[in-house]
Amino acid sequence: MQARKSFAQMMNKKRYALLIISLLFVSFFIKKEAYSFGFYAHKKINRMAVFCLPPDMINFFKKHIEYLSEHAIDPDKRSRAVPGEDIKHYIDIDHYGENPFDSVPHYWKDAVKKYTEDTLKEYGINPWWINNMLFSLTQAFKDEDLDRILYLASNFGHYIADACTPLHTSQWYDGKSFEQKGIHAFWETRIPELFADTYNYLVGKATYVEKPTEFAWLLVKESHYAVDTIFSMDNHLRSHFPEDKKYVFEEKGNTMSRQFSREYTLEFVKLTHNMVERRMQRAVFAVASLWYTAWVNAGQPDLSRLENKEISKKHKKELKANEKLWKTGKPVGRPNPE
């Protein structure tokens, strides 16, 4: 009896060890996968925004289209190493009561007066930050500073695109229940990765934004009004879709990970009337329009004067140093703020 007991204990120990090893594997994969959330969509949005620009801007932006697309994801990389970065990517507007769009002041100073800076920072500052970026990009255009124009324009595109993403406007940013966990990545990574190449990006020409503050808040409002649809359609589909057809295992990099199947994803897309495509189109238009607005506010500098200039060595060095910091830095702030 004693021998059998210790054998059983041994087996339990082995099982326990196996369980720990597999959990470590799973968490390693999840971490790796989390690192790429939303990257594809952000790059695509900045790239497509270039084609909406007016003739006076398009040549310069086209010349640097690879840079603008590549650095569209810098704010997400930065948020993994720099404290205070993550709050620029979202606003939990539902924290502010039943009718938040009537009660939260659109201007930073008024909002600070009403809620204190600490509170605002706790629930995210995205629409206010968009205004800040507009100001910085305008200044870079005024200075005709090629490095700053490109770096700020690419980063600015990121924050604008985040405002167009419904789950960046809610404290339930990764679902309202345990079952819904993963909805954030599903919406902004899985769907674009499967279908964004077939989307229509002919969203018209960039237009001058008369009231940028109101525009940033409008983007957030539109996004937030889509949150309930996401949750209710997700609940509906989860309980109605055949269990054995929900998931597939796919190779990502050199790891295998569980993903929602193409059929399941397509059904969600239909139920939400192509919401991801509509919000990405909105983001492309908004990015192009705010880039254009910064240029107009700077006095419409002649960008052909910058056409023969290249990115400086100093800036290239900065970019390299940033990459290094972001790779080695430990995640700070909210998980998956992308």
Task: Using CB under 5 A, list all residues that contact Zn ion.
Answer: 76, 89, 162, 338
C-beta of residue 271 within 8 angstroms of C-beta of residue 236: yes
For 111, the token pair is 């909002």
For residue 179, give Cα distances in angstroms to 20, 97, 234, 254. 23, 25, 10, 27
C-alpha–C-alpha distance, residues 330 and 317, integer Å = 22
Specify the residue, 76 or 267, whose C-beta has the smaller distance to Zn ion.
76
Q: How far is the CB of 193 from Zn ion (least distance, A)?
A: 16
Residue nearest Zn ion, Cβ-based: 89
Q: How far is the CB of 174 from Zn ion (least distance, A)?
A: 14
Q: How many H-runs (helices) and E-runs (strands) does the chain carry? A: 17, 2
Beta strands in the chain (DSSP E): 247-252, 255-260
Q: Name beta bridge partners: 242.
A: none
**Backbone phi and psi for residue 261, each to the nearest 5 degrees, phi listed first:** -65, 160
Q: How far is the CB of 35 from Zn ion (least distance, A)?
A: 13
Specify the residue, 63 or 80, whose C-beta has the smaller distance to Zn ion.
80
Q: How far is the CB of 307 from Zn ion (least distance, A)?
A: 31
Specify the residue, 13 or 327, whose C-beta has the smaller distance to Zn ion.
327
Specify the residue, 162 or 267, whose C-beta has the smaller distance to Zn ion.
162
- In sign, the C-alpha dihedral spanning 272, 277, 279, 282 is negative
Q: How far is the CB of 223 from Zn ion (least distance, A)?
A: 13
CB atoms within 10 A of CB 3: 7
CB atoms within 10 A of CB 192: 21
Amino acid sitting at position 166: P
SS3 at position 276: helix
Beta strands in 174-315 (DSSP E): 247-252, 255-260
Q: How far is the CB of 158 from Zn ion (least distance, A)?
A: 6
Specify the residue, 92 or 162, whose C-beta has the smaller distance to Zn ion.
162
Q: How far is the CB of 253 from Zn ion (least distance, A)?
A: 21
For residue 306, give Cα distances in angstroms to 44, 49, 139, 192, 314. 24, 20, 15, 34, 17
Q: How far is the CB of 337 from Zn ion (least distance, A)?
A: 6
Specify the residue, 173 or 295, whose C-beta has the smaller distance to Zn ion.
173
Q: How far is the CB of 162 from Zn ion (least distance, A)?
A: 4
Specify the residue, 223 or 297, whose C-beta has the smaller distance to Zn ion.
223
Specify the residue, 160 or 230, whose C-beta has the smaller distance to Zn ion.
160
C-beta of residue 39 within 8 angstroms of C-beta of residue 73: yes
Specify the residue, 41 or 50, whose C-beta has the smaller distance to Zn ion.
41
C-alpha–C-alpha distance, residues 38 and 276, integer Å = 12
C-beta of residue 174 within 8 angstroms of C-beta of residue 181: yes
